[in-house]
Chain A
Amino acid sequence: MISVSDISKSFGKKGEIKALSHINMEVREGELFGLLGPDGAGKTTLFRIVTTLMLPDSGLVTVGGYNAVKDFKILRSKLGYMPGRFSLYQDLTVAENLTFYASIFNTTIEANYHLIRDIYVQLEPFKARRAGALSGGMKQKLALCCALIHKPEVLVLDEPTTGVDAVSRKEFWQMLRRLKDEGITILVSTPYMDEASMCDRLALIQQGLILDQGTPDGLVSGFPDRLLSLATPDIYRAKAIVEKIDGVDDAYIFGESLHIKTAALNEKAIAAALAAHGVAAGEVRSILPSIEDVFLAKMHDVS
């Protein structure tokens, strides 16, 4: 449905700031595709190119067979786009914003009400409230309604859950799953690694490069090495020691524990090495990698 091939984009007078380099990505029809990466990775730039708002320096983007550069006029009525920044009119009420977006897409709220009903019922009590006075989660729900009101074939959401509380985030992803069931292809970006499992497939992006893409399980099972985890109060010293052991590929702090990526060593070897240096480490366990581990490992490979 969305095909991104060899897209590059630079900013600055001499193009010295490389935002995207040779991006390739494929979003299939009817899937919920996630673009996962930290701030400044190039997610927004890529989305703006996909939504015809920016021209790439090189490469080709097609959405539903239409060229994002040449056929931008056709695409603009087929796309639903929710920018990362709240882009509705803060001084208009909830109902006025929705009516406005319906009108400029030549439709009415009633015509596509079934698409937004689940979301809009939550907004209905605040119908007469100005959009600027809504809570963060409510603003995002309204923005989603506005992006959906013309029944787009493709929905592009730029960090819709950033700055939203945990409960609302979960709710938001459930809404996206339901929209996917309606047959809408969804491309969504997020900086939160824990949201990766909600996507059918995803791409990892960092510093303008796609690190990897596939299903969440596929990405995790593609993790090449053994991953060990240990908990110790002296985590920084433990990290320094482990990094020097031969056969350790990488060691990084992950929340409150230390993750060790290694192909050659096992739990006992690490525990022994730490004991030799007098670091009291708890149990060293072999664990299944998460998306974040995959991300960090790939990042390490690239740099």
Chain B
Amino acid sequence: MTMANNTRFNQLKAFVIKEIHHILRDRKTLLVLFGIPVVQIVLFGFALSNEVKNNRLLICDQAHDVHSAMLITRLDASKYFDVVGYVSNPDEGTDRLRSGSAHMVVVIPSGFSADLRHSHETSVQLLTDGTNPNLAATIQLYVQSIVNDFRNQIFGKPDIPYEIEVSPRMLYNPQLKGSYTFVPGVMAMVLMIICTLMTSVSIVREKELGNMEMLLVSPMNAMTAIFSKAIPYLLLSLMLVTVILILSVTMLDVPIRGSILLLYLVSLVFIITSLSFGLAISTATNSQQVAMLISLMGLMLPTLMFGGFMFPIENMPIPLQVLSNVVPAKWFYYSINDIMIKGLGFGAVYHRVLLLAAYAAVFLAISYRNFKIRLS
């Protein structure tokens, strides 16, 4: 028995070494593998942000007094706004809105200072382009918060006892930073690409190039072949998780609030799930193209659509919400979110981890059953 175990271990070792050689010699693929997470982190973290900066602001100042000047200075000082001009009446402003040369017109009524001083009550009108509702709503909120600050500065915090102030506070991500949702998303996607796509292609390549024909006429058994294919990609995936985490923490200031160990444990389970998917695909197909197509269409697309990080699942129609439960990336994404951003412990994620492990078990069983011991 020990003899048999020993020989099996030697076969496994030889196969893993061979596989590592394959990976290391294919420099272009390796570059792409490490390039994808870097590019995605940079893109999602900086370029594709939900925050809107440098909005062009038109001022229609009908007051021309001390307080209106103070408000304008405040608006201009904000990183979200650039005051690009002044107009004498609101109509002129709406023309500029229509042409797209301004994003918002702030109308300050005449007697602004006087109203503030005497009746403690005045209003500022905001005109925005409603054809881009997201942008309009976002910059209105920005102005609102600046105006509130301005009011507080002048009058101090309102201390009238009967006034009820709603003060929303975003927990975990007070600035609503986009990168907080993107980082777990990028992790899910990159792991899916490497584990599923690369593994499936690498086994099918052995069939396509004829290596399998010689390999089959040897004492190597199916289980050894399957495991030895998976191990190098598992190591590679763990390295990539590390790269993504380092990038996120250093470049995007995304916190890791929970346990790093737990984070790696959950990632490891997801990696194994994705690997078993890749193995299942590879045992069922005979050409690299088909394997790639199934990996991309069958897994990448659902991962993007139903993973939860691109489109909020809560906004989907009920049938799609139900369907999204089948996508393993969703469970990984929620778990990573809970651990990294919310700082929750194992108790909060264990049911998802178990589900992922169950997926892995099923697909490993399928791969083992489908592994062809002869040429088809």
Which of B10, B21, B213, B218 is the one whose CB lies under 8 Å from A76? B218
B375 contacts across to A, CB distance below 8 A: 48, 53-54
Q: How far is the CA of A48 from the CA of B214 in the complex (A)?
A: 11
Asked if A254 CB lies within 8 Å of chain B CBs, one says no
A83 B213 Cβ-Cβ under 8 A: yes
B22 contacts across to A, CB distance below 8 A: 89, 91-92
Q: Identify which of residues 40-90 in chain A touch chain B, using a CB-to-CB cut-off of 8 Å.
A: 48, 51-55, 72-73, 76-77, 79, 81-83, 85-90
B10 contacts across to A, CB distance below 8 A: 103, 106
Q: How far is the CA of A87 from the CA of B22 in the complex (A)?
A: 15
Q: Identify which of residues 185-225 in chain B touch chain A, using a CB-to-CB cut-off of 8 Å.
A: 209-211, 213-220
B25 A53 Cβ-Cβ under 8 A: no
B214 A72 Cβ-Cβ under 8 A: no
Q: Given A89-B22, A91-B26, does the pair A76, B214 have CB atoms closer than 8 Å? A: no
Instruction: Please indicate which of the listed interface residues A53, A54, A77, A88 has the most CB atoms of chain B within 10 Å of its own CB.
Output: A53
Asked if A232 CB lies within 8 Å of chain B CBs, one says no
B26 A104 Cβ-Cβ under 8 A: no
A76 B374 Cβ-Cβ under 8 A: no
B18 A106 Cβ-Cβ under 8 A: no
Q: How far is the CA of A81 from the CA of B212 in the complex (A)?
A: 12
A104 B219 Cβ-Cβ under 8 A: yes
Asked if B32 CB lies within 8 Å of chain A CBs, one says no
A54 B210 Cβ-Cβ under 8 A: no
B7 A106 Cβ-Cβ under 8 A: yes
B21 A83 Cβ-Cβ under 8 A: no
A51 B18 Cβ-Cβ under 8 A: no
A76 contacts across to B, CB distance below 8 A: 216-219
Asked if A223 CB lies within 8 Å of chain B CBs, one says no
Chain B nearest CB from A102 CB (Å) reads: 8
Q: Given A81-B214, A104-B218, A105-B218, does the pair A92, B21 have CB atoms closer than 8 Å? A: yes
Chain A nearest CB from B25 CB (Å) reads: 5
B218 A87 Cβ-Cβ under 8 A: no
A104 B14 Cβ-Cβ under 8 A: yes
B18 A87 Cβ-Cβ under 8 A: no
Instruction: Please indicate which of the listed interface residues A52, A91, A105, A106 has the most CB atoms of chain B within 10 Å of its own CB.
Output: A106
A88 B7 Cβ-Cβ under 8 A: no
Q: Identify which of residues 19-52 in chain B touch chain A, using a CB-to-CB cut-off of 8 Å.
A: 21-22, 25-26
Known contacts A48-B375, A76-B217, A89-B22; 7 additional CB pairs below 8 A are A52-B374, A76-B219, A82-B214, A91-B25, A103-B11, A104-B14, A147-B214
Which 9 residue pairs are nearest across A and B when measured between Cβ atoms? A103-B14, A87-B214, A77-B219, A81-B217, A87-B210, A85-B210, A106-B7, A83-B213, A91-B25
A selection of 19 A-B contacts at a CB cut-off of 8 Å is A51-B217, A53-B216, A53-B375, A72-B374, A73-B219, A76-B216, A76-B219, A77-B219, A87-B210, A88-B214, A91-B22, A92-B18, A96-B18, A99-B14, A100-B17, A101-B214, A104-B14, A104-B218, A146-B214
